Amino acid sequence: MRPIINIEPRWYYNLDVRAAKGSNTNNNAGNFVAVAVNYMPDWFNITNNSGYRTYNELSIIPRWAIRRNIGNSNFNYEAGAGIEHRLRFVMTKNYSSTSYDSYLDVYARIGYAFN
């Protein structure tokens, strides 16, 4: 395990259209685009593998997703996809290295809104 600092601003682009049609838009139930930025520092890790090495990693993930309520409850589901661009870098006093990878990011979530 290791800490991850995450920020993900979202733009819900169809809430007005859904509300005009009479659809439930409580708790931001609509389509959105987002850009997630994740930073995974190498501060510490929790593992029982003594040879495991962590690196600083920065990910930027542009994604499209939907969020819908389940019935008239506060439960909701969310599904989305995007392309993750990950930069891994090591900087020490005597050594520095960087690498870059891209991944397909697909996810599904179930949540509850406390309101």
pLDDT at 85: 95
Mean pLDDT, contiguous 10-residue spans, the chain (115 residues): 90 93 89 95 74 81 96 93 91 79 96 91
Q: What is the pTM of this model?
A: 0.78
pLDDT at 34: 97
pLDDT at 115: 81
The C-alpha atoms of residue 78 and residue 71 are separated, in whole angstroms, by: 14
Q: Write down how long the chain is.
A: 115
Question: How many domains does the chain contain in total?
Answer: 1
Question: What single DSSP character describes residue 107?
Answer: E
**Structural domain that includes position 68:** 5-112
Which CA distances in Å does 7 have to 10, 19, 38, 78, 88?
10, 27, 7, 17, 18
Q: What is the tally of helices (H) and strands (E) in the chain?
A: 1, 6
